Structure 1
């Protein structure tokens, strides 16, 4: 065995560590983007509900007259 293998810092281990770290970073970034998109969707849905309520109220007034 070589000395590098005993210490545990061979090239393959460093490459695997880099791949795992970058994968973890990508997962965290995608989770953040997912949460941001979910918040935007909830805001859009709430605005749509308010707009629908206004539309229904205006049509009720027109139908009564």
Structure 2
């Protein structure tokens, strides 16, 4: 995130493993489109409903 905004994270790794910025990890350096969605059922006789909050990244849900 810091790299994408041109800022420095300012922290050093505490372990031997280090990561990559997402554009390096994705094919062709393309960041996939991500969305957040909410589905709500109709209220039942008791007045309760089911609410499902989920995220989509590309074609995956």
Q: Larger C-alpha radius of gyration, 1 or 2?
A: 1
For normalisation by structure 2, the TM-score amounts to 0.21
* Higher fraction of helix: 1
More relative contact order, 1 or 2 (CA 8 Å, 6+ apart)? 2
TM-score, structure 1 normalization: 0.20
